Amino acid sequence: MLSRISTNIARSINKADPNTDIELMAYSLKNKLNQFFAMAIALTICIWTSQWIGVIVSYLLLMIIRGRSGGRHLPSLTLCSIASGIFMGVVPIIEYSNNIVFYMTIFSVVIFALFAPNYFHERIDDGSDVRNKIIVTIIAASNLFMLSSLVATVLVVQALTILPWTRR
């Protein structure tokens, strides 16, 4: 659905400005619409949970960690928006004991230290892999001091997406 919407918008823009590259514009629009719909879903959930700050924190943390650590993609952009929105909307209401948060954080730190970044698509290697590994590992380790259930949940879910479950 989001891919189709992005392509239709890109075609409309191309009609107004024929110099516009439809594929490039559609790709850019897909990324923006994905973020918009995920956040719209999460904020809609906030109407019932009143966890506005938690949703914003989970969104920002997920974007920072995901951008630096890579990870698997869901089969469609629409499914990604829905899953991300529900995840960001629900995570702030989850609470664990400090012991569980501690172990979740240790698990995430180990996974990020061993496997980050792990991209499951072709990309241009810009030489920042070691820096990104250090950044995500430090961010994850910082939760050992905060002991936040929200942060621990986002970290574990993202850590699971970078694990190489199958051989390439």
State the pLDDT at residue 75. Answer: 86
State the pLDDT at residue 71. Answer: 85
Q: What single-letter amino acid sits at 26?
A: A
Residue whose structure tokens are 């629009």? 29
The pLDDT confidence band at residue 120, using thresholds 50, 70 and 90, is low
DSSP symbols for 71-107: E---SSHHHHHHHHHHHHHHGGG----HHHHHHHHHH
39 Cβ neighbours under 8 A, 6+ residues apart:
59, 85, 88
Averaged confidence pLDDT in the chain: 88
State the pLDDT at residue 166. Answer: 67
Give residue limits of the domains in the chain. 2-11+24-162
- Whether the CB-CB separation of 69 and 132 falls below 8 Å is answered with yes
State the pLDDT at residue 129. Answer: 82
pTM for the model = 0.84
From CA 137, how far away is CA 87, in angstroms rounded? 22
State the pLDDT at residue 123. Answer: 55
For residue 113, pLDDT beyond 70:
yes
The pLDDT confidence band at residue 117, using thresholds 50, 70 and 90, is confident
* 132-148 pLDDT tens trace: 999 999 999 999 999 99
User: In the predicted model, what is the mean pLDDT of residues 148-163?
Assistant: 95
What is the sign of the dihedral through the CA atoms of 111, 113, 117 and 118? negative
Query: pLDDT > 90: what percent of the chain?
Result: 55
Residue 119 forms beta bridges with which residues?
71
State the pLDDT at residue 64. Answer: 92
